[in-house]
Structure 1
Amino acid sequence: MKVLATLVLSLPLVFAAQAPVFVPPGPGPTEQSDNYVGKSNGSLPVEFPVPGRVFNRFIQIWLENTNFAVANSSAVFQTLAQQGITMTNYFALTHPSEPNYVAAVGGDFFGMADDNLYMIPSNISTIVDLLEERRISWASYQESMPTDGFTGFSFASENYLNTSAAPLTLYWRKHNPLIIYNSVADIPSRAARHRNFNDFAVDINHHALPQWMFVTPNIENDAHDTNVDFAGQFLQYWLFPLLKDVRFNGPDTLILLTFDENGSSSINNNIFSLLLGNAVPKELRGTTDSTYFTHYSSLSTVQNNWGLGSLGRGDTNKTLANVFSMVAERTGYRNLKVVDIPLTNISGKTPGPLNSNISLQTPFPPPNIHAKGAGGGPVFVARNFNLSHFGLHH
């Protein structure tokens, strides 16, 4: 025993990596913080809201890489679930992260199978084109992004979680979907609507939050480099007070809290997704909905609510793009009952121009100009998209 003790004591000490501890990035979601790079340079203009059929503001907040059961067992998410509708059959579209983000605003991930730097050509349309046609205001709020319209791949800033440590890469382009599309990034007025959380604080205090919002916490607060409990602490800091703030959560606000994908490619891509906000009827709060939805459903639901056109892509796929039930029931839209849920956990097998495993020469496919979207409007085709190249005419 003495020999064993001597051997143990002579071994070098090995310390396990310490998981980061949540630190509030600022005094609160409606105040600017020095932990974010750069102060806001002013608010968005206050714009007259365009009435929707069920809601007048749609906010989606994306978190990262968590299985449904894990999020559903979290005390914070259980608390939130009592205030909204838990969609138990909501599925991501593929792995890894970036293609899910890209698909949720453009209706397709074009075969993308990694998190690399992409710049989708300017003739590929997004939800922005549909919103702007109806003069519906929009913005993207990205925590820890350094400047408005930043197009860089990532950005490292002071590590406010551990001020004695080296700078930490907190912002990643792959979680900022609209900036990946050149039809947004290359137009200054659109790029300027990609804002950080200091901008958010200014916009809410000026009553200038837009009607459509995409919100991405930084890489720590969204659970990507941490876990669902860490993300839960962030939600307690950021979302909980905003749910009580009429400037954010007005009487006709619908909030989608979701994850980009689950944490395991060995099972189908079921993710925890929750509808919150004062647009959710009181009798539906604390309930569940087993209808099959995917990330395309956020597109079809927005289209259905405002009577928009469509992108003629996954947003018009009747199987993958059911409209959120609380909206469909109010508008009379008929969802498809999906019995055999498709497998969407497979990565790298979908052909497309962004799948380097198959072909880099594959052209970006045209939108289906004959598709019927949930909003009832026509398919949007960018003026610089040459349909005749594919033998088509609008």
Structure 2
Amino acid sequence: MGIRLKLGVVAGAIALTAAGLATNASAADGHAAQASNRHGPALDHIFVIMLENHSQSSVIDDVNAPYMTELAHTYSMADNYYGVTHPSMPNYIASIAGDNYGIQDDNDQNVVNFDRPNLAEQLTAAHIRWGAYMEDLPADKLARQWPDNTALYAKKHNPFVLFDGIKNDPAEMAKVKDYSQLGTDLNSPDAPQFVWISPNQCHDMHGGVYVAVPDHPETPCPYGSTKDDANDAALKQKADHFVEAAVDTIMSSKAWTKRSAIFIVTDENDFTGNPETDGWESAEGCCDSPYVGNADPRVPGWTGGTYGGGLIPAIVVSASGPRGYVGHTPYNHYSMLTTIEQNWHLPYLGHAGDTAGGVVGMWPLIQGH
């Protein structure tokens, strides 16, 4: 399965022009050139594809994820990238806000009057076009899932509609769209410069179960019971096909330039039933992951300490960046946010840019140095 390089993208390790770059990293990350002092952005377009609940070891080099594996080995991957915490929703919030704000659950009904600064509002204020594309987005963009709508879409995987500054602003909500509109938008004269993609729960490796109602079919993507069982393998295969189609849509579009990059990550590692971490494979973390105390009722069985999201896959496809590059620096979703904000000279949100806490940009995976 060869990866198609399109629109003038040259196969080989061709670094982005780095004139004017200044290092903004800690001494411990001295090799990581940052883009915060450029006269213009290093990247024209940044794309994020957020997948679900799988560890690095479950995806990279897995027989059921051949396309993502090929991307990882052909372009760049970080072998020390963690989810910020557990479970899903706080990772989505952290990815665009720089903080999980103490949220350690998936109950999106509790996220009300959530008036917090976020990346989308930053981009709008800086006149940088953005779009968030959700597969199977309901007509009522604030709906949750079946029986309110469908179990394949989950509001908790759509962080944009959780923030008051977006959900209460029709102009901002208009930028939250169904995934089916992505191809058209990327080929328009006003293509978004920042794009977020959340697949549905059949295609993000999460899995979903329909509520039993008359005339409603059984789910086409049941949850895996254990890591790498038949259901889990099927979920990875579906996600792999989705990512391949999404990357093809992006690379075939007018928005894919020689100064473009795609980040492909999961929110957190596998759910394995580990009682010590409320079911997650591990709670390893880095880079300002939250501290959760002993016997916190939100995390039964946890003995206290940094509560990270575990080691997860992180692939960066950069049109003119390195090939076959593996970065060993510790990163998490705050690092991805840091990179985006540095690219467009935006102020840091929350823990983004906190080099003292180990939060640095991911420029080596984009530029190869």
TM-score range, shorter chain: 0.5 to 0.7
Write the deviation string for residues 195-253 of structure 1: whole angstroms up to 9, x where unpaired: 002322331343432011110001100110152222112223332x2254142422111
Deviation for aligned residue 1:121: 3.2
1:195 aligns to 2:177 (yes or no):
yes
Q: 1:305 to 1:120 in 2, by over 3 A?
A: farther
- The answer to whether the 8 A contact 2:47-2:196 is kept is yes
Write the deviation string for residues 345-391 of structure 1: whole angstroms up to 9, x where unpaired: xxxxxxxxxxxxxxxxxxxxxxxxxxxxxxxxxxxxxxxxxxxxxxx
The whole-number CA distance in structure 1 between the counterparts of 2:268 and 2:173 is 26
Q: 1:329 to 1:233 in 2, by over 3 A?
A: closer
What is the TM-score of this pair, normalised by structure 2?
A: 0.67
- The answer to whether the 8 A contact 1:141-1:194 is kept is yes
1:322 aligns to 2:314 (yes or no):
no
The whole-number CA distance in structure 2 between the counterparts of 1:203 and 1:180 is 23
Q: 1:262 to 1:304 in 2, by over 3 A?
A: same
Aligned-residue CA RMSD in angstroms?
2.5
Structure number with greater CO (CA < 8 Å, separation at least 6) is 2
Task: Specify which of 294, 304, 311 is matched with residue 270 of structure 1.
Answer: 311
The whole-number CA distance in structure 2 between the counterparts of 1:327 and 1:308 is 20
- The answer to whether the 8 A contact 1:242-1:249 is kept is no
Q: 1:68 to 1:295 in 2, by over 3 A?
A: same
2:268 maps to amino acid: E
Q: 1:155 to 1:195 in 2, by over 3 A?
A: farther
Q: 1:107 to 1:135 in 2, by over 3 A?
A: same
Task: Specify which of 44, 53, 62 is matched with residue 56 of structure 1.
Answer: 44
Q: Kindly report which structure 2 residues correspond to 1:137-286, keeping only aligned pairs within 5 A, or say none.
A: 137-147=129-139, 150-155=141-146, 169-225=151-207, 226=221, 227-239=235-247, 241-264=248-271, 265-267=280-282, 268=284, 269-279=310-320, 281=321, 284-286=322-324
- The answer to whether the 8 A contact 1:314-1:321 is kept is yes
Q: Kindly report which structure 2 residues correspond to 1:108-147, keeping only aligned pairs within 5 A, or say none.
A: 108-117=99-108, 118-121=110-113, 123-147=115-139
- The answer to whether the 8 A contact 1:121-1:183 is kept is no
Segments of 5+ residues of structure 2 without an aligned counterpart are 1-38, 208-220, 222-234, 272-279, 285-309
Secondary structure class of the residue paired with 2:197: strand
1:229 maps to amino acid: Q
- The answer to whether the 8 A contact 2:326-2:365 is kept is no
Larger Rg: 1
The whole-number CA distance in structure 2 between the counterparts of 1:219 and 1:52 is 37
Q: 1:244 to 1:138 in 2, by over 3 A?
A: closer
Deviation for aligned residue 1:52: 4.2
Task: Specify which of 94, 97, 101 is matched with residue 106 of structure 1.
Answer: 97
Write the deviation string for residues 266-314 of structure 1: whole angstroms up to 9, x where unpaired: 42201000001314x2xx2122101111101121111211211122x11
1:310 aligns to 2:348 (yes or no):
yes
1:91 aligns to 2:82 (yes or no):
yes
Segments of 5+ residues of structure 1 without an aligned counterpart are 1-50, 158-166, 333-394
2:176 maps to amino acid: H
The whole-number CA distance in structure 1 between the counterparts of 2:315 and 2:178 is 24
Secondary structure class of the residue paired with 2:152: strand
Partner of 2:225: none
1:316 maps to amino acid: G
Partner of 2:57: 69
Write the deviation string for residues 130-158 of structure 1: whole angstroms up to 9, x where unpaired: 212321111110010023x711112569x
Deviation for aligned residue 1:326: 2.6
Q: 1:328 to 1:201 in 2, by over 3 A?
A: closer
The whole-number CA distance in structure 1 between the counterparts of 2:364 and 2:343 is 11
The whole-number CA distance in structure 2 between the counterparts of 1:132 and 1:327 is 26
The whole-number CA distance in structure 1 between the counterparts of 2:92 and 2:53 is 12
Secondary structure class of the residue paired with 2:161: helix
Q: 1:120 to 1:286 in 2, by over 3 A?
A: farther
- The answer to whether the 8 A contact 2:80-2:330 is kept is yes
Deviation for aligned residue 1:73: 1.8
